[in-house]
Structures are given as C-alpha cells and as structure tokens.
C-alpha cells in the first residue's frame, strides 16, 4: 500500500531513521510501512547521499560559517525559542548543533540569552528541576499507554491517546480520539503493532478501557483480553499512583506545554494535524534531557515480534483445571458459582492448584494471573 500523501515526508523520514538503527530487519520494516524493499532502499540511498535533503522536513537554514557573528547566532537562538516556547538552553543548544551550526553557544549561554530577552520567567526557572528515573534496558520491553485529560472543541470532546516506549521515550501513538473505549483504541494499537511490532509489556492506569479498580476482575477487559492473547504482558499502575506511568505522564506535561496551552481547535482533524507535527518534532528534533540530549528516535528500534495474522490458540498446562466462562462472566468450579469478567465470555480460564495451601487456586487467563480463589473462604454468588 502506498504511503498516505498527507504525511508522506514524515513517514519517509521516520522509516529512514528507524532503518538506520543497528540490527533492524529492513525488509520487515518496509513491509510494516507498506512500501516495497526497492522503495525503502531508494530512500536510504538518497538520504546517505544528501542527509539534509533526504529528510525533507529539516530546516532550510544555511549552515553557519566560522565568521558568523554573535548577533546572528543569537537570532537563531531566539528563532528556535519562538518556534518551541517550552524549550530551554540545553535543548536549544543541542538542536542548533544538530542543524549544523558552528560555534553554538553553551547551554548556559543560551539560557542567559533567553533571560536577557525576557523569555524565561522566574516561575519557569523554579520549576526547572533535574529528574532521575528508572528505565528498561532495551526498546519495547515496556510501553506506557494512557489518555491525556480531555479538552473540548466545538465538534465535541478530544481525548489524546498516547503510547511511550519506556527505554527510548519514543512516542508510538499520539491520536486525537472522540471516545475512550476499546473501539477507539484497538484499531490504533493494531496499526501501531503492524508498524513497530509487539512490546513485551504494556502498563496502563485503572480506567477504561484497560481496567477497573473497583472490580475483582481488575485488569481483564475486552481490550486487555486481546492484548493478553497476543502474548503481551499487561500491568496496571497502583490506584492513585500515576507516577507508575511516569514517563507517559511527563510526556503529557510536554504535550500540554508545547501544543495545547493557549490554543483552541475547531475539530478533531485540526487537533490531529497539530499532534502529527509535534510528534515529528518530539521524536526527531527535540533533545531529551534524560537521553543525554539525544532525540528519542536515536534510541529506538522496532520490535522483532510481529503482529500475528490471527490470534494464537489458548493453551494451558496438563495439571490446570480448565473451565469455559459463561454469560455475565460466571463459571462453576468445585460446586461453587463464581463471577470473573464479562470480557471472558465463552473463553477458557485455568484454575491452577496452589501447593502451599489446600483448597486454594490461582486463576489464569492465558499467561495472566488475575485472581486467587480459596474454597474455604469463598461463598457462591447468586
């Protein structure tokens, strides 16, 4: 399938940058991007011959010369700050170097220039604190997914859906959604899995469509059933602890500061255009302090695990007691009637004996343990 003409340059640039990562299967990447290997290798060759023109969206500013004056460099600093009002001295200094400018001022000098022109407030200076966070060792070991808080447009509410790779901070999904349900999320994740492959684990909060903290079937919804059957481990943040999804929460702060604050949109299509542009900036231009001022795409590579054409069969071990879930998520086990999850209707679950306690069972759906049952303490439902 040919690339969508509305975003051809961004897709071409993203393909080239991903294809340059070490260990990437380029033919598989071509398949995921819907282009022929001939086309993929053509753009790789063009980018290798002329890196600046090969990446169409890069700045058209001429490279600076050793004779460039301090005033001209300062004008570049101010122009970049005007383009990205939320960027500080370190990001601007790093970006100017990547754009090819010589004699770029140190971050502290760039910060002084911004202060001198009144572009950094005292409040912004007070908020500029250093963060240290745990990160997974490799891309695709963990993706964080969440909806940013909604905002209104004349055409209806917008709920931005975001997915971030924990290791690289690479943004995989940034979509303007009208609703926060499985029907909105699953097609977007399907497209993402086809392009980038499957992660080992995905972490979400406890809201719709991935969980419900008030129900014992917490973590088993129609969406998570699909993810689990794909072999993805699904985890959830502890209730009232959004920091468990901290990198995605931090991404939301940047999204709000650099895209949404002070702006109004007529409809979701207009929002999506703004999100598409900023996603390109965030992944490929914006230096990230937690990555030693590299960009996320320099640390990301697609997963080797491809999206299967159909869901694999559900299989359990020889010592598991397998029961099919009936209407309203109800099952019968050992003379007791239990309720698990409506999302498991007509699907098999496994009761696995707990050797440490007589009459106790761990209850699994595929690889996911989602509840524990003690026959001594459990009373049948009506």
Task: Give the residue among 377, 375, 323 at the shortest CA–CA distance from 351.
Answer: 323
- pLDDT for the residue 184: 96
Task: Classify 162 as helix, strand or coil.
Answer: strand
Side by side, the strands of the sheet bearing 348-353 are: 321-324, 348-353, 360-365, 368-374
Task: Give the residue among 342, 381, 338, 327 at the shortest CA–CA distance from 363.
Answer: 338
Residues 77 and 95: their CA atoms lie apart, in Å, by 10
DSSP 105-163: PPHHHHHHHHHHTT-S-HHHHHH---------SSTTS-EEEEEPPPEEETTEEEEEEEE
- pLDDT for the residue 79: 86
- pLDDT for the residue 241: 56
Residues 7 and 95: their CA atoms lie apart, in Å, by 23
Structure tokens at 285: 């231009």
Strand 321-324 vs strand 330-333: parallel, antiparallel, or unpaired? Answer: unpaired
Instruction: Write b or e for each residue in 322-352: b if 16 or more Cβ atoms lie within 10 A of its Cβ, otherwise e.
Output: ebebeeebebebeeeebbbbebbbebbbbbb
- 165 close to 172: Cβ distance less than 8 angstroms: yes
Task: Classify 324 as helix, strand or coil.
Answer: strand
Q: In terms of CATH architecture, what is 143-298?
A: 2-Layer Sandwich (3.30)
Task: Classify 322 as helix, strand or coil.
Answer: strand
Q: Delimit the domains of the chain by residue range.
A: 5-54, 70-127, 143-298, 321-374
Element containing residue 273 per DSSP (H, E): helix 268-284
- pLDDT for the residue 255: 95
Phi, psi of 318 (to 5 degrees): -65, -20
Structure tokens at 2: 């040919």
Residues 282 and 286: their CA atoms lie apart, in Å, by 5
Task: Classify 306 as helix, strand or coil.
Answer: coil
- pLDDT for the residue 382: 45
Phi, psi of 211 (to 5 degrees): -175, 175
Q: Which residue has the tokens 């924990």?
A: 166
Longest CA pairwise span in the chain (Å):
87
Element containing residue 363 per DSSP (H, E): strand 360-365
Residue 356 contacts by C-beta under 8 Å, 6 or more apart in sequence? Answer: none
- 186 close to 343: Cβ distance less than 8 angstroms: no
Q: How many CB atoms lie within 10 A of CB 89?
A: 22
Residues 81 and 373: their CA atoms lie apart, in Å, by 58
Residue 156 contacts by C-beta under 8 Å, 6 or more apart in sequence? Answer: 178, 268
- pLDDT for the residue 291: 85
Residues 5 and 58: their CA atoms lie apart, in Å, by 18
- pLDDT for the residue 381: 56
pLDDT per residue rounded down to tens, the chain (382 residues): 455 544 677 888 888 889 988 889 999 999 998 899 998 898 888 888 877 665 454 444 555 544 443 578 888 888 888 888 888 888 888 888 888 888 888 888 888 888 777 777 655 554 554 444 566 789 999 999 999 989 999 999 999 999 999 999 999 999 999 999 999 999 999 999 999 999 999 999 888 898 765 554 456 999 999 999 999 999 988 765 555 678 989 999 999 999 999 899 999 999 999 999 999 999 999 998 888 889 999 999 999 999 999 999 999 999 999 999 999 899 999 988 999 999 999 999 999 998 888 889 999 999 999 988 988 877 655 4
Structure tokens at 161: 């859906």
- CA-angle at 216, arms to 215 and 218, nearest 5°: 70
């Amino acid at each position: 399938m040919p690339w969508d003409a509305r975003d051809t340059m961004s897709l071409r640039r993203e393909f080239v940058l991903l294809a340059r990562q070490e260990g990437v299967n380029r033919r598989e990447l071509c398949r995921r991007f819907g282009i022929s290997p001939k086309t993929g290798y053509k753009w790789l060759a063009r980018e290798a011959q002329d890196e600046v023109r090969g990446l169409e969206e890069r700045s058209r500013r001429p490279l600076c010369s050793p004779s460039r004056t301090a005033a001209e460099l300062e004008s570049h600093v101010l122009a970049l700050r005007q383009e990205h009002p939320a960027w500080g001295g370190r990001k601007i200094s790093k970006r100017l170097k990547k754009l090819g400018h010589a004699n770029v001022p140190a971050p502290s000098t760039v910060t002084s220039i911004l202060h001198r022109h009144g572009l950094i407030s005292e409040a912004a200076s007070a908020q500029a604190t250093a963060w240290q966070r745990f990160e997974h060792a490799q891309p695709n070991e963990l993706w964080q997914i969440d909806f940013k808080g909604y905002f209104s447009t004349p055409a209806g509410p917008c709920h931005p859906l975001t997915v971030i790779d924990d290791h690289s901070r690479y943004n995989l999904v940034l979509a303007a959604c009208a609703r926060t349900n499985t029907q909105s999320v699953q097609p977007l994740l399907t497209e993402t899995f086809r392009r980038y492959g499957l992660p080992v684990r995905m972490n979400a909060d406890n809201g719709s469509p991935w969980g419900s903290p008030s129900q014992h079937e917490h973590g088993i919804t129609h969406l998570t059933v699909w993810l689990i059957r794909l072999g993805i481990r699904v985890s959830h943040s502890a209730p009232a602890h959004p920091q468990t999804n901290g990198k995605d929460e931090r991404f939301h702060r940047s999204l709000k500061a650099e895209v949404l604050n002070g702006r109004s949109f007529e409809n979701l299509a207009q929002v999506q255009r703004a999100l598409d542009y900023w996603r390109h900036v965030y992944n490929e231009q914006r230096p990230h302090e937690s990555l030693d001022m590299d960009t996320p795409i320099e640390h990301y590579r697609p997963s080797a695990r491809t999206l299967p054409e159909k869901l694999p069969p559900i299989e359990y071990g020889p010592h598991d007691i397998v029961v099919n879930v009936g209407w309203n998520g109800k099952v019968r086990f050992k003379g007791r009637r239990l309720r698990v999850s409506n999302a498991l209707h007509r699907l098999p679950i496994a009761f696995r004996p707990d050797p440490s306690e007589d009459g106790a069972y761990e209850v699994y759906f595929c690889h996911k343990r989602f509840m524990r049952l003690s026959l001594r303490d459990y009373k049948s439902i009506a």
